[in-house]
Amino acid sequence: MDPLHKQVAALTSAKLLEPLVFLKDSLWHKDIRARFLLQFWIIEYFAERRAADLPPDDDNRSFVAALEALTKEHLPQHLDRFKSKKGELLRRTLAEKVAACCEALRIHYDDADLKRAKKVRDNLSHGSAYMAQALSESELCTRLLCRYVLRRELESRGIFLEGDATAFNELKVLTVPSFRSDRPDMATASVPIP
């Protein structure tokens, strides 16, 4: 019996149906754009779930409160509009959420790679132009990052599909290599299979 079959009950009770279905679909999809978007969504899914654990950003709240006071004093005609948009200023960015998620899950990645992948994702989602090379490199990075995030999410719940169960804080940090062609040291990087 392989490790997956031994963990079927635990996997079922983990309630991770959506990301597991998206991962399955991304494995079989021939279109790199669809694979990339499915894999990026898995990262976003877990980043959003883990964002609830982020401490309040008191510096940003203080900044927005100061802007509101200035608007009230000097531009009272725009105060209602400011209040209606205030939530956007207080919202955490995707980069912050992914960073917090990966830190909690003991995963290291290059933030520049994630930002590039997000730009490709945004362009694909809005039907804008994108560079095939950027998509290809972003798909490689996203593929590995989404698998690491899913793996570590399972391990954080005590579900180990490979190796022996280990205390979470004793697991080695997983590192996602960079696949950007503009980095000479990574131009020929290969994708390790997690």
Domain coordinates of the chain in residue numbers? 3-54+92-186
3-class secondary structure, 175 = strand
Per residue of the chain (194 residues), give pLDDT as tens: 565 556 666 666 667 778 888 888 888 889 999 999 999 999 999 999 988 887 778 888 899 899 999 999 999 999 999 899 988 888 889 999 999 999 999 999 999 999 999 999 999 999 999 999 999 999 999 999 999 999 999 999 888 888 888 999 999 999 999 877 775 444 334 444 34
Tell me the pLDDT tens digit for each residue of 84-112.
998 888 888 999 999 999 999 999 999 99
**Contact predicate 50/100, CB 8 Å:** yes
- Find tokens 């997690």 and name the residue: 194
End-to-end CA distance of the chain: 20
Looking at every residue in the chain, the average pLDDT score rounds to: 86
